[in-house]
């Protein structure tokens, strides 16, 4: 038993998963971590979360729903420096905390950055290379910098797959 544990601990996926699970405040289960990832200690993970190289930083709360998938080199920030009302320029040592909420069945592509205070609605897709600065509505497909909705998913098809529990 110990030999299997020692053998597994040196496998990167096992180690990456252990790092995320030990740091996150909550993990409902079935977590897949396929690349180096970091999360803050105020991260709540749903069921069937799939990370491929994500960095969640800041003091704010980050809630990720069920059946989430991320590409590589993604970032989620939950706070930012006070640049407006601070006592120094360009910013001072205080931070402004804004929670990030990601609904169920969301997929974000490679190199996506999500800024503090954003909510991604259920079933939305964020195109690779996007910077999300404001909320994205459920089942929207968005991309760009700043990310804008350019298409909506087929709701009838989406709801049919969801009803059949066809989750990847």
- Residues involved in catalysis: 81
Nearest alpha carbon to residue 100 among 81, 119, 113 = 119
* Distances 37 to 48, 58, 63, 140 between C-alpha atoms, Å: 16, 14, 16, 26
* Cα separation, 58 vs 145, whole angstroms: 22
* Distances 143 to 43, 99, 124 between C-alpha atoms, Å: 24, 21, 11
Contact 31, 21 (CB under 8 A): yes
Contact 83, 105 (CB under 8 A): no
Strands 95-97 and 79-81: antiparallel
């Amino acid at each position: 038993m110990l030999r299997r544990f020692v053998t597994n601990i040196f496998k990167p996926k096992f180690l990456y998963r252990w790092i995320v699970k030990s740091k996150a405040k909550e993990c409902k289960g079935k977590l897949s971590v396929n690349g180096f990832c970091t999360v803050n200690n105020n991260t709540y993970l749903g069921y069937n979360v799939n990370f491929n190289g994500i960095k969640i930083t800041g003091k704010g709360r980050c809630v990720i729903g069920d059946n989430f998938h991320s590409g590589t080199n993604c970032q989620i920030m939950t706070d930012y420096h006070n640049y407006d009302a601070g006592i120094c320029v360009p910013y001072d040592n205080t931070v402004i905390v804004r929670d990030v909420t990601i609904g169920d069945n969301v997929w974000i592509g490679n190199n996506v950055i999500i800024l503090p205070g954003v909510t991604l609605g259920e079933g939305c897709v964020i195109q690779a290379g996007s910077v999300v600065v404001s909320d994205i509505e459920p089942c929207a497909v968005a991309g760009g910098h700043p990310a804008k909705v350019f298409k909506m998913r087929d709701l009838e098809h989406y709801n049919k797959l969801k009803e059949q529990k066809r989750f990847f």
